[in-house]
Chains A and B, each alone.
Chain A
Amino acid sequence: MPTDAAPSGASRTITQDDVARMANLARLSLDDKERELFAGQFQDILGYMDVLGKVDTQGVEPLYSPALHKEQGRQDEPARLRSRDEVLANAPQQDDGSFVVPRIV
C-alpha cells in the first residue's frame, strides 16, 4: 500500500552501520574513514530531502518518465548485431570465447 509519508532523514541519525548496510547492498566496500565521512554527509543530504515532506502529493500519480510522446517498441526479431570477438574485446579476463570469473562453486 503506497503511503504519502514524509521522508524522515533528519529525524533519524545515519550511523556508520547504516552506511555499511547501504554499501553492502550496492556491492561497495568502505574503510572506517569512509564510513565516518559518508555517515555525516548522508545525514546532511537526507536531512535536506525532508523538504519534500512539505509538498502535498495526495492523489498525485508518480511520474517516472517525462516523455510526453508514446514510446515506441520495435519488433522482437533476433539479429546478430555484434560479433563475439567484439563483445569480448574489453573483458578483463576471457578464455576460449567466454568471460572468466572466480570459482563460484
Chain B
Amino acid sequence: MEQPSTLHLATLADIARDLREGRTGATEATAACLDRIKTTESAIDAMLLVDEEGALERARELDRQGPDPAMPLWGVPIAIKDAISTKGLRTTAGSRMLENYVPFFDATAVRLLREAGAVILGKTNLDEFAMGSSTENSAYKPTRNPWNTDLVPGGSSGGSAASVTAGQCFAALGSDTGGSIRQPASLCGCVGIKPTYGRVSRFGLIAYGSSLDQIGPMARTVRDCALMLEVIAGRDPKDGTSAPDPAGKYAERCGTGTLKGVRLGLPKEFMSGGLSGEVEAACSHAADIAAKEGAQLVTVSLPHTEAAIATYYIIAMAEASSNLARFDGVRYGHRSASVDTLEDLYLRSRSEGFGQEVKRRIMLGTYVLSSGYYDAYFRKAAQVRRLIRDEYLRALDACDAIWAPVSPVTAWRLGTHVADPLSMYLMDAFTLSLNLAGLPGLSQPVGKGAQSGMPVGMQLIGRPFDEETILAIGDALERTLPRIGAPSL
C-alpha cells in the first residue's frame, strides 16, 4: 500500500529549496496541499474558496517554465485571507455584503507573492470584515481549531492560522488590526508576524481601521515568516502610508543566532492580572529556558495597558464606521431587492449585508465621532494613543525586544463569548497596543497549557522597522524551546 504523502508538513524554506532544486515539482506540491485540504477541511472549515483548477493550472505553467532563481517562492502553495483582494477570485471579507464580489486587481502583497512564483490555493475564512477574535463572526461558517475542533482558532485570521497549522498550505497571508494575525497564531500554535505600520502595502486589503491595519505572513516557522515578509514588504506608490525603505533580508539572521546576551523586556502589567494560570505557567517556563540559554530578562513597564483596550476600540470603531460607509449598494456589494428610494437603497442594502458585530462597530464608531462626543471619545483616545506609543518606545530603549503573552487564555469553546461582545474585546488586551503604536510583533508557540493541552503563544515586540531583530530572536527561541509538534488530523 502506498504511504500517504507527508510533503504538506515540510517547512516553506524546505519546500522552496526542493522546488528550486528540482526535487519536487510545483504541480506535486500543489496537489499535496489540495489533497490535504480535501482530507482536513470538513473538520476545520478553514477555507472560503479553494481554487483547485486555477492553482493546478498555475503550477503546471510553472513546471513547464522550470525553476527560476529570481522567484524565491517558485511553486510554493499559499493561502490568502479573504479580506485581501485577489484578481478574478471571489473576495468576501467573510461578509454577505461581498458574497458575489470578484476583484479586478490583486492586492499588492498578493501581486508580489505571484511574481515571486507562489501558487495561490484559495481564500481563508475570517471574522466578517476582520472584526472579531474567534472567526465565529464569519457570515459563512465558523472555523475550528485543528488541535481540538470544539474550540475556536482565534481571529480574525482564524482561517489562515488553522490552514497553516493543519498543513493545507506552506504559509498564508493574514491581516492584523488589533491582534488578528498574532492571536490566532497563538491559539493554533503557528507563527505570525504583524509588521510595522507602513512595512507592507495595504493596497487591496479591504479596509477596517486604516491607521491600524497591516498585512502579514503566517507560517509554521519563524524563518518561513521571514521569507514571506522579504517578498511582500516594501514601498508601494498605491499606499501613501507605505514606508520608503526597501524590504530587509529578514531570513538572513535565522538559523545561526543564540539568545546569549539578548535583553528581553517582560512588561509587568502583562504578567500580572488577567492571565490564566496555565498561560502564565507556560510563559514563565519559556522565560526560564530563555534565561538559562543566556537571555537577560528585564522588567519593563507599560502603565497605560489598562487604557489600551478602550483606546483601541474607540479608534478602530471610528475608522470602521468611516471605511464601511463605502458599502452603499450602488457600485459593488449587496443590493437590496425592490427599493423605491435611494435612502431606502442605502438603509436596506447595508442592514441586509452586514452582520451584527459589524453593525455594532459601525454604530459605536459613528457615535464616538458624532457631534458632542468627538472630543470626549475620539480625540481623547488619540491622545492616549500617543502616550501608549511613547511608553512602548521608552520600554524598547531598555531591551532588544519586549516579550509578552499573546492571549490571556488558550483557545476557548465555540459560542463562549458570542452573546457578550465586551468580554470578547477584553481578550485582545495584549495585542492591540502594538497596532496603536504601529510596532512589529511576532507571535510564536512557546508551549502548551498544562490543563487544556492547547498551544500557548508569546509575542516579541520590536522597534519600528526592525523586524530583523525580532525574527532573529524568535528564530533563536524556536530552536531553544521544546517544539509543540503538529495536530493529528
- Report A's interface with B, CB cutoff 8 A: 2-8, 19, 22-23, 25-30, 34, 38, 41-42, 44-46, 48-52, 54-55, 57, 60-74, 82, 86-87, 89-93, 99, 101-104
Q: How many A-B residue pairs have CB under 8 A?
A: 192
* Nearest CB in chain A: distance from B111 CB, A: 14
Per-residue interface assignment for chain B, residues 94 to 105, with 1 indicating a CB less than 8 Å from any chain A CB and 0 otherwise: 000000111011
Please classify how large the interface on chain B is, using the bins under 10, 10 to 19, 20 to 34, 35 or more: 35 or more
Decide if B459 is an interface residue (CB 8 Å cutoff): no
Instruction: Assess A82 versus B104: contact at CB under 8 Å? Given A66-B197, A67-B197, A99-B331.
Output: yes
Q: Are A66 and B363 in contact (CB under 8 A)?
A: no
Q: Are A7 and B330 in contact (CB under 8 A)?
A: no
> Can you name 17 A-B pairs with beta carbons within 8 Å?
A4-B380, A5-B376, A8-B376, A26-B325, A26-B363, A26-B365, A34-B359, A49-B314, A57-B380, A60-B383, A61-B383, A66-B437, A69-B245, A73-B240, A90-B332, A91-B332, A102-B341
17 more A-B contacts (CB under 8 A) besides A45-B425, A46-B364, A66-B438?
A5-B376, A26-B321, A44-B422, A45-B422, A49-B313, A51-B307, A55-B383, A63-B386, A64-B382, A66-B389, A67-B241, A68-B464, A69-B198, A69-B465, A90-B100, A91-B332, A103-B341
Q: Are A42 and B364 in contact (CB under 8 A)?
A: yes
Chain B residues whose C-beta falls within 8 Å of the C-beta of A68 in the assembled complex: 438, 464
Q: Are B363 and A22 in contact (CB under 8 A)?
A: yes
Instruction: Assess A69 versus B332: contact at CB under 8 Å? Given A19-B363, A52-B380, A62-B383.
Output: no
Q: Are A28 and B350 in contact (CB under 8 A)?
A: yes
- Chain B, residue nearest A82 (CB): B104
- Chain A, residue nearest B377 (CB): A7
Chain A residues whose C-beta falls within 8 Å of the C-beta of B439 in the assembled complex: 66
- Chain A, residue nearest B327 (CB): A27
Cβ contact of A28, chosen from B197, B310, B347, B376, cutoff 8 A: B347
Per-residue interface assignment for chain B, residues 359 to 376, with 1 indicating a CB less than 8 Å from any chain A CB and 0 otherwise: 110111111001001011
* Nearest CB in chain B: distance from A7 CB, A: 5
CA–CA, A17 and B359, complex, Å: 16
Decide if B484 is an interface residue (CB 8 Å cutoff): no
CA–CA, A55 and B307, complex, Å: 8
Cβ contact of A62, chosen from B240, B340, B386, cutoff 8 A: B386
- Chain B, residue nearest A64 (CB): B382
CA–CA, A3 and B335, complex, Å: 41
Q: Are B342 and A71 in contact (CB under 8 A)?
A: no
Q: Are A28 and B354 in contact (CB under 8 A)?
A: yes
CA–CA, A23 and B365, complex, Å: 11
Instruction: Assess A52 versus B344: contact at CB under 8 Å? Given A8-B376, A86-B104.
Output: no
Q: Are A101 and B342 in contact (CB under 8 A)?
A: yes
Q: Are A102 and B375 in contact (CB under 8 A)?
A: no
CA–CA, A66 and B432, complex, Å: 13
Instruction: Assess A52 versus B381: contact at CB under 8 Å? Given A57-B387, A68-B464, A102-B344.
Output: yes
